[in-house]
Amino acid sequence: MASNLRTVNLEEGMPLVDEAIRHLTRELHYSRKSGVTVLKIIHGYGSSGAGGRIRVGARRYLDGLAARGEITGYIPGERFSIFDEDTRRAFLVCNDLRKEHDLERHNNGVTFIVL
């Protein structure tokens, strides 16, 4: 059985924010078609400056998608914890999240998108 969790690195190749958002859009479409329920994106946390811009831009973009009902929601890596209600709800649609190595690491360089 295929995993319903997929990981994509948006900061690979050091893209500009708009390039990273276009990449994210393509990956969201591909993931939906593939039956993925949660897409983990790696966007960095801003130590070099570029990762922070991608993180802010990606989360702003995801806010818009969530407001329009195009995604169920997203969980910032810094909140990805068994004590977080959104994380526990995501476990119900993607059991693979329980084994995710970023669980309880408070990693603000990643975001989990619930499709």
Q: How is domain 5-114 classified at the architecture level of CATH?
A: 2-Layer Sandwich (3.30)
Secondary structure element (H or E) that encloses residue 101, with its range: none
Nearest to 109 by CA among 85, 89, 80, 82: 80
The answer to whether the beta carbons of residues 63 and 88 sit under 8 Å apart is no
Residues 6+ apart with CB under 8 A from 63: none
Tell me which residue has tokens 């669980």: 103
Q: What is the pLDDT of residue 47?
A: 66
Q: What is the pLDDT of residue 63?
A: 98
pLDDT band at 15 (very low <50, low <70, confident <90, very high): very high
pTM: 0.94
Q: What is the pLDDT of residue 42?
A: 97
The tokens for 62 are 């995801």
pLDDT band at 1 (very low <50, low <70, confident <90, very high): very low
The domain ranges of the chain are 5-114
